[in-house]
Structure 1
Amino acid sequence: MAAPPVPLVAAGAPTAGLPDLQLLLVAAALVVLAGIFAMADAALGAVSPAQAGELARDGVRGARTLQIVAADAVRHINLLLLLRLLCELTATVLVALVAVDTFGAGVTAALITAGAMTVVSFVVVGVAPRTIGRQHAYAVGRITAPLVRWLGRVLNPLASLLILIGNAVTPGRGFREGPFATQIELRELVDLAEQRGVVEHGERQMIHSVFALGDTIVREVMVPRTEMVWIEAHKRLPQALTLFLRSGFSRIPVIGESVDDVLGVLYLKDVIRQTQGGDPDANDRAVAEVMRTATFVPESKPVDDLLSEMQAARTHMVIVVDEYGGTGGLVTIEDILEEIVGEITDEYDVERPPVERLDDGEVRVTARLPVETLGELFDVELPADEVETVGGLLAQALGRVPIPGAEAEVNGLRLLAEGTTGRRNHIDSVLVRRVSAADQRDRERDQRERDHDHDPVRASDREAGPEFRAEQPTREEHSRSEERQPADA
C-alpha cells in the first residue's frame, strides 16, 4: 500500500538554507539597491551633458565622470532599468519564500507577498528615489556616476544582448534611441513643465512656435503683393528717398513694367551713400543703377528652410513667387521671427486695435479682421465661404482690388476703405456702419435717376429737341387715351 503524499512545505516548518530573518534582510537590501538604481536613472534622465561639461571645466568633483555617463545616457539608463528590475524580482522571490515558510503554500502567502512588495516597490523604489533624483539631478548624478560607469563596462554585453532580443520581438522601431519617440511627446513635456511652473506661458508658446515653423510655408507668413511698397526702376534717387521716409522701410523692391516684374531690391543705406556722398550727378541717377539683386523663393517653401537660407545668404528680404510665376508677396527676417516670438513693433508701426467703435455709430476694423467676427459685431450673416477677411469681402463686393475711398454695401452694411500714409493704394482699415433709412432712400432715388436716364422714350425726347417734346403726350395722357379706345373684338 502506497504511503500518503507528504506536503512540500508545512506552515511554520523551517526551510533549508538561510533563516527567514536573513532572507528578509537580503530582500530589504535588494529593494534599497533598486531604489538607488531608480534614483540614478531619474537623475541621469534630467542631466544635460553640456551642463555637466561646464561643471567639469569648473573643477567640480565627479562632474567629469558624470559628463562621460551622460554622453551615453541611453545605454546607461537601460542598464539601470535592467538592474532595478532584477533587484525587485529577486526581492519578491525572497519575500515569497518567507511567506510560504510562514503561512504555507497557498493563496494567503501569494496575497501577502503581492501586497507587501507592491507597497514597498511603489514607495521605496518608485516615488521617493525618483523624486530625489529629479530634484537633485546633478548632485545625485555626480555621486552615482562612478558606479554607473563601472556597471556599464562590466554588464554592457548583457544589456546589449537583452536590447537585441527586445528589438527582435518588438514590432515597429523597437528600442528607440532617445527619451522621446515623437515630437508630440516633447510638446507634451513642455505643456507639463508649464503646468508645474518650470517654464512660463510665453516660453511654452515660443517653444511650440519653433516646432510649428517646420509645418508653416512661406505663403502663410508673407506680406501679400497688395500690401507691398515698391518703386519703379526709372525713378530717381531723390524720389526713392522720399518713399523711404514716407513708408518707414529700409528695403523696397524695384519693379519694371509691373509688380510681377521685380528687378531687384533698393536699400536705404545705398541711396543715402549715393545722395550724400558729394556726387553732383547722384540726384539724376536712376534707381536701377543702385539696386541690388533680389532673391526669389516659391510660396510653398517651409519657413524653417527659408530662415536657414536667409541666414546663410545674409539677406533680410526675399521675393515670393506664386505658382504662376508672378509676384505673390515678400518675406523679411522680421516676418519669420514674429512667427516665433510674436508681433514685433517699432516706431513706424501703427498700434491699432482690431475693432474700434466710433462716436457716430461707425466701427473701424482692420482689413484683416475675419468676416465671421464682423458678422458677430453687427449680428448679420455675411458670405464667408469665398473670402476670409473684411478686406477680401470689400474686394468681392467691388469686383476689383479696393483702393482708399472705395465704398460698397454688403448685406445691409456699408464698407468704406481707408488707406495708410506711405502705403500706395494699401487698405489698412475699413469703416463699417449699418445702412440707415436715409441711405436706403438715397439709393432708391439714385436708382430711379439711373432708370430715368436709360428710359428710351426720355432719351428720344432729349435727342428730338424741345419743339418735338412739346407735341408728345405724357405717360398719363397716353394711358388715358388707351383706356378710351374700345377693346378689339
Structure 2
Amino acid sequence: MLSIIIIIVFIILSFFFSGCETGLISINKLSLEKKANTNSKTKYLLDFVNNPDKVLGTTLIGTNISLVIVASVFTALVIKYRKLGLSEIASTLIISGILLIFAEIIPKTLFRDHSEYLIPKLLPVLKFFNILFYPLIKALSKVNYLLLGIFGIKHTKKTLFTKDDIVFLISEAEKEGEVEKSEQEMIHEVLTFRELSAKNVMTPRTDIIAVQEDDTIQSVIELSKKEGLTRFPVYSKDIDHIEGVLIIYDLLKAESNDEKVAKYKRKVHFVPESMKASILLKRMRIKKTPLVIVVDEYGGTAGLVTIEDLLEELVGEIEDEYDESEIEIQKITENTYMVFGEVEIDYLNDNYGFKLPKKDEYETVAGLIINKIARIPKVNEKFVIDGYELTIKQATKKKIEKVMIKILFTSKKIES
C-alpha cells in the first residue's frame, strides 16, 4: 500500500514539474514586465523566468528525481508480486504509458494553455523546491559554465524580444486581423529604420540640384519654379565645395532680384555616409536644419539628406504639390515590371518576391546592371541575369533611368 502511495505522490510531483517547465517557458514575459513594477510576487516570478538555470534546474531535477523514484518503486512492486503473472514487458509498457500521459502530455498541454493563471498560483511551491534543490542547481550551473568555456561558447543573456520576433508577431497579428496592413508596414519600417545609414537614404550626388554663390536671386527663383524645390545647397568652385544652404523663403527679405544668393545662405552641416539614419534624424531635429550634406571618405560630396527623406523611410512616400506622382515600380503584365534604375534590389526582393542577386558593390537595379557589364548601357539593350530579362528603356550617358524586368521562369509566382 505504501508503495502505491509513493508512486501516486511522485507521479503528481512529476506532473507538477513537467507542467511548470512548459508553463515557465510559454508564459507571457511582456505581461510580467508590465506587472513587475507594482507587484513584488510578479517581480520574483519575472526574475525566476529570466534565469534559465533556475527554471531548468528546478523543473528538470524535480522531474528526473520523480521519474526515477516512480520507476524504481514500481519495479520493486512488480518483482514482489511476480506471482500475478505480469511480465517485464507488460509492466514496462504500463508504467511508460502512465508517465507519458500523466507526466508529459496532460501537464504540458494544460500548463501551456493556462500558464498565466497556473504559474503565479504555484509560485510558492516552485520557490520551495528551488531552495531545496539550490546546492544541486548551483553545482550543475558551474559545470554548465565550465563546459561552455571548454567549447569556447560565450554565455550571453538574451533580450526579451528580438527585432525578428516582433516582425513575426506583427505579421501574425495582421493575418489575424488584429492590426491593419498599413500599421504592420509602418511598424516594420520603424524597426528597420535604425539599420539604415545616411548613404541608404540620401539623394545621390548626380541628382543634387544646387546653386552657385554668384547666382542671382532671380535665377534661383526661376530654378525653384522649374524644379519644385525650396532648398538648395550653395557651392563655390564645384559641388565638392558646398558653402551653405539656401532656403527660398529667405529671399523674400531681398530688396532686389539682382542680388547674389551668397548673402542669404545658411550654415550647412556635413555628415559621413556611415552615420545611422536614426542618429541623423535626432541631430537634424536638435540643430533645426532641414538639409545636410553627406560626404564620402575623401571629403567629397556623396549626396544630401532632407528631413523629408528620413520621414519617408518611416511613413512611406510623402508627396507635396510639387511632386510628380510617377510610379517607381509599375506592373505591366503578369511577369513584366517597369522600374526606376534607382529602385533598391532589397525592396524588390522583399516586397515583390523577386530573387535578384545582391552584392556589397551595388544596391539598386541600375547598380546590378552596371556591375554585370562594367559600363553604362544604351537604350533597348537587353541582359539576362539569374532568370530575369532586363531591358533598358530610358538612360542617359551617365545613368540608367528606367528598366523593364521580365520574369523568364514561372515556377514561382511574383506578387505585386
TM-score (norm: length of structure 2): 0.67
The reply on whether 1:74 has 2:57 as its aligned counterpart is no
The reply on whether 1:124 has 2:106 as its aligned counterpart is yes
CA distance in structure 1 between the partners assigned to 2:93 and 2:293 by the alignment: 73
CA distance in structure 2 between the partners assigned to 1:118 and 1:300 by the alignment: 57
2:18, 2:63 within 8 Å by CA — same for their partners in 1?
Answer: no
Larger radius of gyration: 1
Q: Deviations for 1:77-106, whole angstroms, at most 9, x for unmatched residues?
A: 542332222332233123313431343394
Query: Structure 1 residues 157 and 262, CA, compared in 2 at 3 Å: closer, same or farther?
Result: farther
Tell me which amino acid in the other structure corresponds to 2:157. Answer: E
Residue 220 of structure 1 is matched in structure 2 by 200
Query: Structure 1 residues 223 and 26, CA, compared in 2 at 3 Å: closer, same or farther?
Result: same
The reply on whether 1:37 has 2:20 as its aligned counterpart is yes
Q: 1:168 aligns with which of 146, 163, 169?
A: 146
Q: 2:265 aligns with which of 291, 301, 318?
A: 291
Query: Structure 1 residues 73 and 416, CA, compared in 2 at 3 Å: closer, same or farther?
Result: closer
SS at match of 2:232: strand
Q: For 1:89-128, list aligned pairs within 5 A.
A: 89-104=64-79, 106-128=88-110
Q: For 1:61-460, list aligned pairs within 5 A.
A: 63-67=39-43, 69-70=45-46, 73-75=49-51, 78-104=53-79, 106-133=88-115, 137=116, 143=121, 159-170=137-148, 171-173=151-153, 175-178=155-158, 187=164, 190-191=167-168, 194-195=171-172, 197=175, 209=189, 212-213=192-193, 216-237=196-217, 239-272=219-252, 274-275=253-254, 281=255, 283=257, 285-307=259-281, 309-311=283-285, 313-353=287-327, 354-355=329-330, 366=340, 368=342, 388-389=365-366, 396=376, 410=381
Tell me which amino acid in the other structure corresponds to 2:20. Answer: F
Q: Deviations for 1:301-359, whole angstroms, at most 9, x for unmatched residues?
A: 444554454455454422122344322211233333444444343443322234498xx
TM-score (norm: length of structure 1): 0.58
What is the identity percentage for the equivalent residue pairs of Structure 1 and Structure 2? 23
CA distance in structure 2 between the partners assigned to 1:288 and 1:119 by the alignment: 84
Tell me which amino acid in the other structure corresponds to 1:87. Answer: G
Tell me which amino acid in the other structure corresponds to 2:113. Answer: T
Query: Structure 1 residues 430 and 116, CA, compared in 2 at 3 Å: closer, same or farther?
Result: closer
CA distance in structure 1 between the partners assigned to 2:208 and 2:265 by the alignment: 17
**Which is worse superposed, 85-94 or 212-221?**
212-221
Q: Report how far residue 30 of structure 1 moved.
A: 0.4
CA distance in structure 1 between the partners assigned to 2:219 and 2:13 by the alignment: 84
CA distance in structure 2 between the partners assigned to 1:100 and 1:364 by the alignment: 75
CA distance in structure 2 between the partners assigned to 1:118 and 1:242 by the alignment: 82
SS at match of 2:9: helix
Query: Structure 1 residues 364 and 340, CA, compared in 2 at 3 Å: closer, same or farther?
Result: closer
SS at match of 2:292: strand
Q: Report how far residue 27 of structure 1 moved.
A: 2.0
SS at match of 2:114: helix
2:25, 2:49 within 8 Å by CA — same for their partners in 1?
Answer: no
1:228, 1:329 within 8 Å by CA — same for their partners in 2?
Answer: yes
SS at match of 2:12: helix
Q: Deviations for 1:152-177, whole angstroms, at most 9, x for unmatched residues?
A: 67766654443232111123435431
Q: Report how far residue 110 of structure 1 moved.
A: 3.9
CA distance in structure 2 between the partners assigned to 1:261 and 1:287 by the alignment: 16
Aligned residue pairs total 361
Q: Which runs of 5+ in 1 are unaligned?
A: 1-17, 57-62, 276-280, 358-362, 374-384, 399-407, 419-425, 433-489
1:31, 1:91 within 8 Å by CA — same for their partners in 2?
Answer: yes
